[in-house]
């Protein structure tokens, strides 16, 4: 009797479904970030390399897809703070996290209308997302203060407000280089001040 080491069919189907879902989520993130207006679900499916029926099987409505992309990005920002701290000194980790935050904001370009409608109806809680993001920033600030790389008289709220201001001012296409320069200036301002 020969034994077949391949996984059962139902496990293969689950793995295929998980891959399809991840492909749709990744494609939707890219399409939303590049779009000036809300893209069609058909366009997102095309970019993901799946049929529209497959997209709707995983995300039955536009709102379901927008919610999944939004929540995925919040998780990436939260875990990104810890991952960056494991690989870099705190000041460098914070600067790299700022780039992640900029990418997160860019993702909203093509889903703003749906996202705002979902906030209005309570389907998405900005308060929860805000807590997660402020916690991620605090994690890096605490590490930076302990390493004497980041000044101690700033808060996560200060950083979040500065990031939102810079990125809102540089929101138009082609202003990425200016945003990068301003984020570097922000980091310069976060260096510990010499004792007087």
Q: What is the pLDDT of residue 174?
A: 64
State residue 8's pLDDT score.
Answer: 61
44 with 139, same domain: the answer is: no
* 66 and 15 fall within a common domain: no
Give residue 159's pLDDT: 95
**Are residues 55 and 76 located together in one domain of the fold?**
no
Distance (Å, whole) CA 44 – CA 40: 7
pLDDT at 1 over 50: no
User: What is the domain extent for residue 23?
Assistant: 9-60
Say if residue 137's pLDDT is above 90: yes
**Would residue 166 count as lying in a domain?**
yes
Decide if 56 is inside a domain.
yes
CATH number at residue 96: 1.10.357.10
Say how many domains are in the chain: 2
Domain co-membership, 78 together with 165? yes
Within a domain: 2 = no
Which of 176, 25, 35 shows the shortest CA–CA distance to 98? 176
Residue identified by tokens 């900029």 is 102
**CA 36 – CA 30 distance, rounded (Å):** 12
Confidence at 43, pLDDT banded by 50, 70, 90: very high
For residues 101 and 19, membership in a common domain is answered with no
One DSSP character per residue, 122-137 reads TSS-HHHHHHHHHHHH
Residue 17 lies in a domain: yes
| pLDDT, tens digit (0-9, with 9 covering 90-100), for 162-180 | 998 998 888 766 678 888 9
How high is the pLDDT of residue 143?
Answer: 97
Residue 30's CATH number: 1.10.10
Q: Is the pLDDT of residue 21 over 70?
A: yes
Quick one: 53 and 88 in the same domain? no
For residue 17, count other CB atoms closer than 10 A to its CB: 13
Lowest mean pLDDT among 46-55, 59-68, 144-153, 170-179: 170-179
Asked whether 147 and 138 are in contact (CB, 8 A), the reply is no
Identify the residue with better confidence: 20 or 165.
165
Q: Which residues contact 10 (CB under 8 A, 6 or more apart)?
A: none
Collapsed DSSP state (helix, strand, coil) of residue 58: helix
| Phi/psi-derived region of residue 120, left when phi > 0, alpha when psi is between -120 and 50, beta in every other case | alpha
Question: What pLDDT score was predicted for residue 122?
Answer: 84
Inform me whether the pLDDT recorded for 3 exceeds 70. Answer: no
**One domain, residues 74 and 35:** no
- Summarised one tens digit per residue, pLDDT across range 5-16 is 556 655 665 777
3-state secondary structure (DSSP) of residue 80:
helix
> What is the spatial distance between Cα 109 and Cα 33, in angstroms, rounded to a whole number?
6
Report percent pLDDT > 70 for the chain.
Answer: 91
Same domain, 66 and 153: yes
* Mean pLDDT of the region 64-81: 91
Do 14 and 99 have their domain in common? no
Tell whether pTM > 0.75: yes
Query: Do 102 and 121 reside in the same domain of the chain?
Result: yes
* 102 within domain boundaries: yes
């Amino acid at each position: 009797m020969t034994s077949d080491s391949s996984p059962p069919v139902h496990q293969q189907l689950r793995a295929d479904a998980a891959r399809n879902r991840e492909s749709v989520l990744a494609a939707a993130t890219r399409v939303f970030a590049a779009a000036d207006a809300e893209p069609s679900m058909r366009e997102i499916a095309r970019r993901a390399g799946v049929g529209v029926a497959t997209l709707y099987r995983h995300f039955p409505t536009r709102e379901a897809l927008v919610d999944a992309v939004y929540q995925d990005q919040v998780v990436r920002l939260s875990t990104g703070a810890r991952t960056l701290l494991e690989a870099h000194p705190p000041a460098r980790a914070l600067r790299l996290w700022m780039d992640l935050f900029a990418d997160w904001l860019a993702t909203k370009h093509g889903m703003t209308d749906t996202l705002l409608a979902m906030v209005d109806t309570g389907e998405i809680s900005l308060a929860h997302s805000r807590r997660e993001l402020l916690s991620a920033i605090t994690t890096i600030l605490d590490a930076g203060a302990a390493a004497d790389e980041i000044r101690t008289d700033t808060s996560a709220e200060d950083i979040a407000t500065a990031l939102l201001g810079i990125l809102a001012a540089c929101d138009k296409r082609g202003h990425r280089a200016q945003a990068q320069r301003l984020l570097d200036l922000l980091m310069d301002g976060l260096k510990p001040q010499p004792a007087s």
